[in-house]
Structure 1
């Protein structure tokens, strides 16, 4: 009706369809996607507390429908002999390659690159080696403090590192 005044009936019908599609899609994106996400980012706890009960109710009501559609999807997957689950075999070498590519492209700063590498180096360190390092540092610090405060009347046990015998 809006476009009938300006366009031929056939063209008005096509333009009306396109405009209504764009309008409905835009409103859906705005109110069903962007606005709830922003509200959730602004006040996550408040949103979570207010929405949990309606979500639980919806899950209870729609469980049979979800079960039905999941069963239909499984049937289609079996029919076409497709795998039911995805196999993710990502190795640390894959992650190293991605991190290295990010560093070369300038996406990662040098500090971030080193931090990620250090995280993976921790996997190769054994617990005793990390523990020994901490103990050695603790012993050196406590011995130095004891020497510095000798004769000040301080209790030497105050400088004792738990689990480490005094030298």
Structure 2
């Protein structure tokens, strides 16, 4: 009867949709998210993760199902419904040849339309909306089908891997996640309202911090206030009263002769009571940090230090500056207003061009202006980009001028 044949065609199309839904859901599902769901004992999460770990077997299973459904839909439902449609048109007076052509054409067109829309587009669009949740729902039935068709699935998967090996291609997917991909995900989360703009900036700061050396985050020697034990007590008192810092390096005769660090709170009783200052008695050792050490490694050094301040030296042992937890926070969250100089790091002018300070970190400039930087470079600030207008193509980037 036509009703049974039509029902069979619709069922086959719906089954095709289920396989398409399963295919895109498992392929699109993030393994990290599936692992979290598995740890939370979400139903079907472990089965979905197992399918994602073996994409060859899973795709072979799905392809077997889709292929069989296509063959059955074309051979059984299409032929039967086409014949029924041709007979119906003949009843309306059309010639047999013309009726068969139009009848089969109408049936094939209708089945193709439903197969594309109901069997492909709708399921795949649905799978993209919630891939992990749908993957958990379809994982167990798909695993059962895979076990039932085990020999065929193994044969297809082995054939696929052999073809890959023949062309020297690794069939395993590259699961490495780059920093740019993380930034893209964070930007997407900000657009969706999942995180705030300030959160995105701080996450970007953490990623930049991982790529920086101590030289890129330290307070340079020219901006360091230090105490010289050879100065008079009046000069030392004046320096202590004028400094906004809680800790100061202490040297003997010059900045390359730093012997340690003094904390102002240790000197405060003598300052308030007007007693003579004994700076040397309050000097504490500070770790020496190479200027090419990674910023995160320097943070680990500061955590273990008696006083959280590091003396930065270059490869020749010369004093280059200091690094403190405040410098690390500055790299992540941005500088506080009290720490800023008279000029801002970057100013957007009315004509669309940018005015950049030479001391602006070059990676922050790259993030803000969306410009590429070489993987290996021997500079940390915008001042190292010379000549800047030549390196940045004007047709892709706004005009930039360095202070």
What is the TM-score normalised by the length of structure 1? 0.48
The one of the two structures with greater contact order (alpha-carbon pairs below 8 A, sep at least 6) is 2
Higher strand share: 2
1 or 2, which has the higher helix percentage? 1
Q: TM-score, normalised by structure 2?
A: 0.22
